[in-house]
Structure 1
Amino acid sequence: MSRSALVLGALPGQADAMHRLRSAGWTVYACGHVADGPGVAAANEFFVVDIVDVDAVAALCGRLEVDVVYSVGSDIAMPTVAAVSERLGLPLFHSSEITETLHRKDLLRAFLADRGVSPVAHRVVRDESQLAGFESYPAIVKPVDSQGQRGITIVENGSQARSALPAAWAASRNGAAVIEELLVGPEVSVHVFVVDGRIELFLPSDRHVWDGPLTGIPSAHTMPSRILGEHDTAEIHRLAEHFIGALGVVTGPLYFQLIITEAGPRIVEVAPRLDGCHLWRLIEVHTGFDLLTTCFAMLTGEPWPGGPMPRSDDVHHTLRFHLTDPKVPFDPTAWSLTGFGDVVFEEFHLEPGELARDTNGLVARLGYGITRDFE
């Protein structure tokens, strides 16, 4: 049976989905506010429609008569996915209410605090006066609803927090910021897939962070985790189960980012989607399981195929991003992963001489590779 999808966005993560779907026989459309990115060519047809314009995306879905509207790796796309799917009766994983709770950091923190899950001192700030009485420094100031690490600043005191607020407010579509106690410890990501309220897939990986001036930029992911022991892994699984039950998730993917503090694992973010770091490919390389195609198949009513079998060896795979100054033209001869292990996959998103997409003025992705690591 022929199936069709509208994918919101045209960046490399969305292009991954388009290529995989087209290879499975789907007709794939895409849209974005400008015709820019690898997804423009990856789709059967691209339309200039802003992915945050719910009415425009719904009209496009109706005109194309697609079976699914979805996105990969885009926080700002997911509220539109939920709203359009509900309006048109298209299949979806997570309701608008769940999606909005996970999309906005203020709502997520309030949800966690109300249920005593992953406690983190925090406060929503819409004007400077709301910083009064907040004493959990050092802290981190964030926009409540942005992506790509924009507008995030680590602060040591109230004066620095006040100085950081304008950048956070400017990066927030909602116009609000949140200040949280700074969580210290190694970072991990966890891919979870829930089926009928049960965790059927639970795949932690180490999240390595770029050693640069911006906070929280991922530079690499390693699977399986070298950081987590059995106790921490069990604690995270229990935390995920508690969270999923409290939120009322029935079926669908979730992407957790956590920090392992001295007090235990703490949730940083939870996304109602697959990640934006191409980790579906790391999962496929390491386990043989195609999580990306599975997501779309289940949206169209196919049953859960069963998760990957655990590996019995000690092999580790690492996905490493090629990070660059966005003002420096791409030179493919300047990049090599051979010192880390056997390169099993590598992809660049640019042609020689091109500039990387600049989202923050300091660092951009040229592409990525996956290695079977040397022990």
Structure 2
Amino acid sequence: MKKHALILGTLAGQAEAMEWLKDNGWLVSACGHVQEGPGVATADHFYLVDILNIEKVTELARDIKADVVYSVGSDIAMPTVARVSETLGLPCFHNSETTSILHRKVLTRQFLNDHNISTTSFQKLRTVEDLYKFHTFPAILKPADSQGQRGIFIVESVEEAARLVPQSFAASKTSEAIIEELIDGPEISVHAFVVDSKLVFFQPSDRHTWEGPAVGVPTGHVLPSHFTSKDMLPRVRDLVESCVSHLKVANGPLYFQMKLSKEHGPKIIEIAPRLDGCHMWRVVEYYTGVNLIAACFNRLLGLPWQYADVPEPTTPYSLWFFLQKTGETFQKSLHALPADANCVYQHFLYTDGQKVRPTNGIIEKVGYYILKG
């Protein structure tokens, strides 16, 4: 009989996972609080169930006899994935405790500081008055539990933070925020995969970001990393392995964002208990030959790690985004490839006439392309 996957969410990242599952003989169901996104048409069955409603998702997974409950690229889905899988005895990479730590930015920062990993000054914010307990500027202000670069600001003073923190509160489901010292330096991403408590895949890449008013919006990712020097690379890996050890991760993916500080070395910005939300599995596969979506679902079934003998990559690849202002009408003709680009893959996340989603209220990814060389 076909294995049955319940995928939480129906946006482009989840749809790509659904496509792989269907190509490999799975039956795919999906759910979401609204019936929109490419995953609705990609799934064999769609159910109007909010992915944040753990009880309803548990009932759905039980009713359809799902073998796996999972999601790709969604921070908000991962606590539900863990709780539902634990309740129903389904395979799961990260337990509820780990998922909770990595979902809540305050808990993540406290965990890192408690274990002397990438220590950083920070303050949890429940009211504007909490800002006056923090004294390290410049700083970065962000919601405690959000995604999509919503409500994030670089601030130079308490007064500036006090003016902006209501927007951070508004972007948080718990109306909480965090302020932490701003780490200066180039930014990298790290894809990691753990099998039987051993780090079997470790791939840094350069993360380029938009220079507009929305903080942290990615414009592209480059492999191999040019920002990570030979001296810095072992320090980056040590941070990843230390997190794996202290979080007691036995299996599955982790996605890190780090800054490379000249003064302090690599510093962890965020950790996610999932694959990234930037479609990077595809450029990682071009570069390394490792399909991280395949690795996730195969490991959930208990299959062995299949990439032990992958040759060392020799050809650079990069992934770049087409960006457009939120609320505008998407037109494919507005987004052209760079001249003389050696493009090996291109995909648009919208069709002509659709309105660009108001993710952060400023700018949104509307497509991406992968360059070779």
- Please, what TM-score do these two structures have when normalized by structure 2? 0.97
> Contact 1:138–1:181 at 8 Å: present in 2 too?
yes
Residue aligning to 2:343: 343
Residue aligning to 2:279: 278
Q: In the TM superposition, what is the alpha-carbon distance from 1:310 to its structure 2 partner? A: 4.3
Q: Distance in 2 between matches of 1:47 and 1:55?
A: 14
Q: In the TM superposition, what is the alpha-carbon distance from 1:151 to its structure 2 partner? A: 1.1
| Amino acid corresponding to residue 281 of structure 2 in structure 1 | W
> 1:1-375 counterparts in 2 under 5 A?
1-262=1-262, 263-307=264-308, 309-311=310-312, 313=314, 315-339=315-339, 341-373=341-373
> Contact 1:337–1:371 at 8 Å: present in 2 too?
no
| Amino acid corresponding to residue 278 of structure 1 in structure 2 | H
| Amino acid corresponding to residue 358 of structure 1 in structure 2 | P
Q: Distance in 2 between matches of 1:126 and 1:310?
A: 50
The size of the alignment, in residue pairs, is: 372
SS in 2 for 1:17: helix
Greater CA drift, 146-155 or 5-14: 146-155
Q: Distance in 1 between matches of 2:30 and 2:22?
A: 12
SS in 2 for 1:132: helix
Q: Distance in 1 between matches of 2:23 and 2:151?
A: 38
Q: Distance in 1 between matches of 2:90 and 2:293?
A: 19
Q: Distance in 1 between matches of 2:153 and 2:124?
A: 15
Greater CA drift, 124-133 or 93-102: 124-133
> Contact 2:290–2:307 at 8 Å: present in 1 too?
no
Deviations 1:124-155 (A, max 9, x none): 01112222242100001111101101111111
Q: In the TM superposition, what is the alpha-carbon distance from 1:327 to its structure 2 partner? A: 3.2
> Contact 1:193–1:200 at 8 Å: present in 2 too?
yes
| Amino acid corresponding to residue 3 of structure 1 in structure 2 | K
Q: Percent same amino acid among aligned pairs?
A: 47
Q: Distance in 2 between matches of 1:147 and 1:5?
A: 24
Q: Distance in 2 between matches of 1:358 and 1:308?
A: 43
Q: Distance in 2 between matches of 1:182 and 1:146?
A: 18
Gaps of 5+ in 2: none
| Amino acid corresponding to residue 210 of structure 2 in structure 1 | W
Q: In the TM superposition, what is the alpha-carbon distance from 1:39 to its structure 2 partner? A: 0.3
> Contact 2:205–2:221 at 8 Å: present in 1 too?
yes
Q: Which runs of 4+ in 1 moved over 6 A?
A: none
| Amino acid corresponding to residue 198 of structure 1 in structure 2 | K
| Amino acid corresponding to residue 273 of structure 1 in structure 2 | R
Q: Distance in 1 between matches of 2:16 and 2:44?
A: 14
Q: Distance in 2 between matches of 1:36 and 1:198?
A: 38
> Contact 2:85–2:92 at 8 Å: present in 1 too?
yes
Q: Distance in 1 between matches of 2:271 and 2:51?
A: 21
Greater CA drift, 230-239 or 329-338: 329-338
SS in 1 for 2:238: helix
Q: Distance in 2 between matches of 1:196 and 1:341?
A: 41
| Amino acid corresponding to residue 360 of structure 2 in structure 1 | N
Q: In the TM superposition, what is the alpha-carbon distance from 1:294 to its structure 2 partner? A: 1.3
SS in 1 for 2:134: coil
Q: CA RMSD in A?
A: 1.2
1:312–1:159 Cα change, 3 Å: closer
Deviations 1:24-58 (A, max 9, x none): 00000000000000000010011110000000000
Deviations 1:205-263 (A, max 9, x none): 10000111000011100111111111111100011111111111111100000000121
Deviations 1:240-293 (A, max 9, x none): 111111111111100000000121000000000000000100111112221111
Q: Distance in 1 between matches of 2:223 and 2:237?
A: 16
SS in 2 for 1:324: strand
Greater CA drift, 29-38 or 352-361: 352-361
> Contact 1:255–1:274 at 8 Å: present in 2 too?
yes
SS in 1 for 2:30: strand
SS in 2 for 1:7: strand
Q: Distance in 2 between matches of 1:38 and 1:312?
A: 32
| Amino acid corresponding to residue 302 of structure 2 in structure 1 | G
Deviations 1:63-96 (A, max 9, x none): 0001000000000000000000000000000000
| Amino acid corresponding to residue 266 of structure 1 in structure 2 | K
| Amino acid corresponding to residue 317 of structure 1 in structure 2 | Y
> Contact 1:287–1:308 at 8 Å: present in 2 too?
no
1:324–1:279 Cα change, 3 Å: same
